[in-house]
Every structure is written in structure tokens, then in C-alpha cells.
Amino acid sequence: MLLLNITGAYNTAPTAALQVIEGLMPLHIKAKMQSTLVRVGRLGRNCDYEGIHFDYESYEQPSPPSTIHPELFSLEDRISHGGQVPSNRTPIEVYTDGSKINDQTGSAFCAIANEAIKKTWKAKLSPVNTVFQAEIQALKAAIEWTNTANKDVNI
């Protein structure tokens, strides 16, 4: 009945034809697909669907939940540098970022030496660029800049 309302067809039109016209998957096929996804993804079982084998081990498993309540989690007990700057720090630290918000994509990097900003760079990319491409562009620009710095740099 819903397909009749959507398409404006007469009640004599076959449901299968209306599903094809609207690009909707038949319910029995959709139910089998969802059942396979639940078996593999949530129940952890291997499954076959339409001659395709889905192996549970091939899919990324969710990480286990934290066993420590956030209120009891204390960073001071876990991280300590004795009030000193770690000795493995390099003279120049470079931070990169790429982002996409409201179809506007951009990337940037900032170089800091002795707690002072030494170099900043930013670029506006095309709206068709992805966040990954923006991140890579920032890394590329940071690497190109560090090649000219002639100092130890940590990106």
C-alpha cells in the first residue's frame, strides 16, 4: 500500500514492479541480508549468503569497554615526568591537522621551538577533498618545511 502511495500507481500494479521502479530491495532479501550481518557482526558466527562466505575473523572487532570508571581514572597516577621536560623531545615540535566542516576543507601545520611558534602554514582545499587528503596535505607541507629547517624535528 505504501508503494502505491509513493508512486501514485493503481492498485493493480504488481508490488515487485513498484519495488524495481522505486529502487527498493524486496523485503525477504533485505531480511536475509540483515540476518547475515547480525550473525557475523554481533554473534560472531561465520555465515554464507548468496554463495558468498562471510568470515567473522575478517572483520574488525570492537574494542572491549573500559574496566575503570571514569571518575576513578587518575592521570597523575599513570603519567609522571617528575616536573621536567622529557629528554626525548626534539628542538622543534610540528603539529599538523586537516579538517572538513560544512563542505569546506582545510589543512595546516604549526612548528613550535622553545615554547614559541616558529612557523605556521595553512591552506584551503577544494570542497571535493576528503579529511584524509587534508591530513596528508598538512603532513606533506610539514615535511617539506622540515627539510629546509636543518634541525631535529618531531612531527
Residue-wise pLDDT tens digits, 75-126: 665 555 555 555 555 678 899 999 999 989 999 999 998 888 999 999 999 9
Q: How many domains does the chain have?
A: 2
- Nearest CA to 108 out of 133, 148, 137, 130 is that of 137
Whether 94 and 54 map to the same domain: the answer is no
- Answer yes or no: is 121 within a domain: yes
Domain boundary among 13, 43, 58: 58
Query: pLDDT confidence of 136, banded at 50, 70, 90?
Result: very high
Query: Which residues, listed in sequence order, are joined to residue 101 by a DSSP beta bridge?
Result: 104
- Answer yes or no: is 80 within a domain: no
Residues 6+ apart with CB under 8 A from 128: none
Write out the residue range of the structural domain in which residue 112 sits. 89-152
CA gap 12, 30 in Å, rounded: 24
pLDDT tens for each residue of 29-70: 889 888 988 888 888 889 888 888 888 888 777 777 777 777
Q: pTM of the full predicted structure?
A: 0.44
